[in-house]
A and B are shown apart, each in its own frame.
Chain A
Amino acid sequence: MRLTLEIWRQEAPDEAGRFVTYEMEDVSPHMSFLEMLDVLNERLVDEGEKPVAFEHDCREGICGSCGMLINGKAHGPMRATATCQLHMRHFSDGDHLIIEPWRSAAFPVIKDLVVDRAPFDHIVQSGGYVSVNTGSAPDANTIPIGKERADRAMDAAECIGCGACVAQCPNGAAQLFTAAKVAHLASLPQGQPERYRRVAEMVETMERYFGSCTNYGECEAVCPKEISIDFIADMNRDYLKSKLRGGESG
Chain B
Amino acid sequence: MTLEARVPDGPLAEKWQRHRDRLKLVNPANKRRFDVIVVGSGLAGGSAAATLAELGYRVQCFCFHDSARRAHSIAAQGGINAAKNYQNDGDSVWRLFYDTIKGGDFRSREANVHRLAEVSMAIIDQCVAQGVPFAREYGGTLANRSFGGAQVSRTFYARGQTGQQLLLGAYQALSRQIELGRVTMYPRTEMLDLVVSDGRARGIVTRNLRTGAIETHTADAVVLATGGYSNVFFLSTNAKGCNVTAIWRAYRRGAYFANPCFTQIHPTCIPQSGDYQSKLTLMSESLRNDGRIWVPESADDERPPGDVPKEDRDYYLERKYPAFGNLVPRDIASRAAKEVCDEGRGVGPGGRGVYLDFADAIQRLGRDTIADRYGNLFEMYERITGEDPYEVPMRIYPAPHYTMGGLWVDYDLMSTIPGLFVIGEANFSDHGANRLGASALMQGLADGYFVLPYTIGDYLAQHMGEEPLATDHPAVRETVAEVEKRIGVLLAADGDRTVDSFHRELGALCWEYCGMSRSASGLRKALEEIPALREEYWQRVNVPGSAEELNQALEKAGRVADFFELAELMCRDALDRGESCGTHFREEHQTEKGEALRNDEEYTYVSAWEFQGDEAEPELHREPLEFEAVSPSQRSYE
Contacts and interface: CB of A to CB of B under 8 A. Distances in A.
Nearest to B164: A62
A214 interface: no
B384 to A, nearest CB: 7
B624 interface: no
A134 B122 CA distance: 9
Given A130-B172, A137-B128, A141-B86, A57 B179 contact: no
B74 A121 contact: no
A64 B70 contact: yes
A62 B278 contact: no
- Interface class of chain A by DSSP: loop
A188 interface: yes
A78 B383 CA distance: 10
Interface stretch (A28-36, A93-101, A164-172): A28-36
A244 interface: no
A138 interface: yes
A76 interface: no
Interface stretch (A1-9, A108-116, A233-241): A108-116
A80 B380 CA distance: 11
B136 interface: yes
B551 to A, nearest CB: 8
A60 B281 contact: yes
A158 B67 CA distance: 17
Given A31-B274, A131-B176, A137-B126, A147 B138 contact: yes
Contacts of A147: 136-138, 140
A65 B277 contact: no
A144 B139 contact: yes
B89 to A, nearest CB: 15
Given A55-B66, A134-B449, A144-B139, A126 B179 contact: yes
Contact of B498 (A34, A45, A59, A63): A45
Contacts of A114: 550
Interface in B539-561: 542, 544-545, 549-550, 552-553
Interface string B240-251: 110000000000
Given A30-B273, A129-B175, A191-B131, A134 B553 contact: no
B68 A39 contact: no
A82 to B, nearest CB: 10
B84 interface: yes
Q: Which of the listed residues A61, A120, A125, A131 has the most CB atoms from chain B within 10 Å of its own CB?
A: A125
Q: Which of the listed residues B84, B129, B498 has the most CB atoms from chain A within 10 Å of its own CB?
A: B129
A157 B125 contact: no
A63 B138 contact: no
Given A31-B274, A150-B134, A65 B70 contact: yes
B239 A141 contact: no
B115 interface: no
A80 B376 CA distance: 11
A59 B131 contact: no
B185 to A, nearest CB: 8
Contacts of A51: 544, 552-553
A134 B408 CA distance: 26
B197 interface: no
Nearest to A127: B179
Interface string B135-146: 111111110000
Nearest to A152: B133
A85 B380 CA distance: 8
B230 to A, nearest CB: 13
Contact of B84 (A39, A53, A140): A140
Interface in A1-51: 11-12, 28, 30-32, 34-36, 38-39, 42, 45-46, 48-51
A53 B137 CA distance: 45
A179 to B, nearest CB: 15
Contacts of A140: 84, 124-125, 127-128, 134, 142
B384 A138 contact: no
Nearest to A150: B136
B72 A58 contact: yes
A154 B553 contact: no
A210 to B, nearest CB: 16
B66 A116 contact: yes
Contacts of B141: 141, 144
A163 B270 CA distance: 28
Contacts of B70: 57-58, 63-65, 161
Contacts of B128: 137, 140, 190
Nearest to B385: A30
Contact of B72 (A50, A63, A78): A63
Contacts of B65: 57, 63, 65
Nearest to B273: A30
A136 to B, nearest CB: 8
A167 to B, nearest CB: 15
B133 A150 contact: yes
Contacts of B178: 125
Contact of B51 (A11, A49, A89, A134): A134
A138 B129 contact: yes
A101 to B, nearest CB: 13
Interface in B139-183: 139-142, 158-159, 161, 163-165, 168, 171-173, 175-176, 178-179
A48 B185 CA distance: 36
Contacts of A56: 240
A69 B95 CA distance: 51
B383 A85 contact: yes
Contacts of A126: 179
A135 interface: yes
Contacts of B86: 141
Contacts of B68: 121
B338 interface: no
A183 to B, nearest CB: 11
Nearest to A112: B550
A82 B278 CA distance: 16
A60 B380 contact: yes
A135 B173 CA distance: 13
A200 interface: no
A242 interface: no
Given A124-B172, A133-B54, A134-B453, 19 more contacts: A34-B278, A45-B498, A46-B498, A57-B72, A62-B74, A63-B70, A85-B383, A87-B386, A110-B550, A114-B550, A125-B176, A128-B172, A135-B449, A138-B125, A140-B142, A141-B142, A147-B136, A150-B133, A158-B159
21 contacts: A28-B276, A35-B277, A38-B276, A38-B278, A55-B66, A58-B240, A63-B72, A65-B66, A85-B383, A121-B67, A125-B175, A125-B176, A134-B126, A134-B450, A134-B453, A135-B450, A137-B129, A138-B129, A140-B134, A160-B164, A161-B67
Interface of A: 11-12, 28, 30-32, 34-36, 38-39, 42, 45-46, 48-51, 53, 55-65, 78, 80-81, 85, 87, 89, 110-111, 114, 116-118, 120-121, 124-141, 144-147, 150-151, 153-154, 157-158, 160-161, 184-185, 187-188, 190-191
Interface of B: 47, 50-51, 54, 65-70, 72, 74-75, 84, 86, 122, 124-131, 133-142, 158-159, 161, 163-165, 168, 171-173, 175-176, 178-179, 185, 187, 210, 239-241, 273-274, 276-279, 281-282, 379-380, 383-384, 386, 449-450, 453, 496, 498, 500-501, 542, 544-545, 549-550, 552-553
